[in-house]
Amino acid sequence: MMKFLYSIFLLIVIGVAMMQNMIFLAGIVAVIFTLKFSSAALVVLAIGIDTYFGAFGTMPYFSVIALCWYVCSELIRLRIRIMD
Partner 1 sequence: MRGHSSRNQRVNNITLTTIFFAVIIVTGMLLPRIFSLVGTVIMTPVHMVNGWYETSEQAIPVLLRDKSELQDRINILENELLIAKGEDLTFRRLKDENTRLRALLSETDTQRTVAKVIARPGDIPYDLLQIDQGSNAGIKENALVYVGQDQLIGTVFQVSRNYSFVQLFTTPGVEMTGFISGPEVVATIEGVGGGVARVRVPQGIPLTIGDLVYVPSVQPGLFGRIGFVANRPSQPEQFGYITLETPLQSLYEVGVSDITVPQATVESINFGKQSIIAERLLIEEAHTVSFEELLSDSASASTTPEASEESI
Which of 28/47 has CB closer to partner 1? 47
CB closer to partner 1 out of 31 and 40: 40
> Which CB, 3 or 42, lies closer to partner 1?
42
Q: How far is the CB of 3 from partner 1 (least distance, A)?
A: 18
User: 25, 5, 6: which is closest to 15 by C-alpha?
Assistant: 25
Cβ neighbours of residue 43 closer than 8 Å, sequence gap 6 or more? 63, 66, 67, 69, 70
Site for partner 1 in 9-28 (CB under 8 A): 11-12, 15-16, 19-20
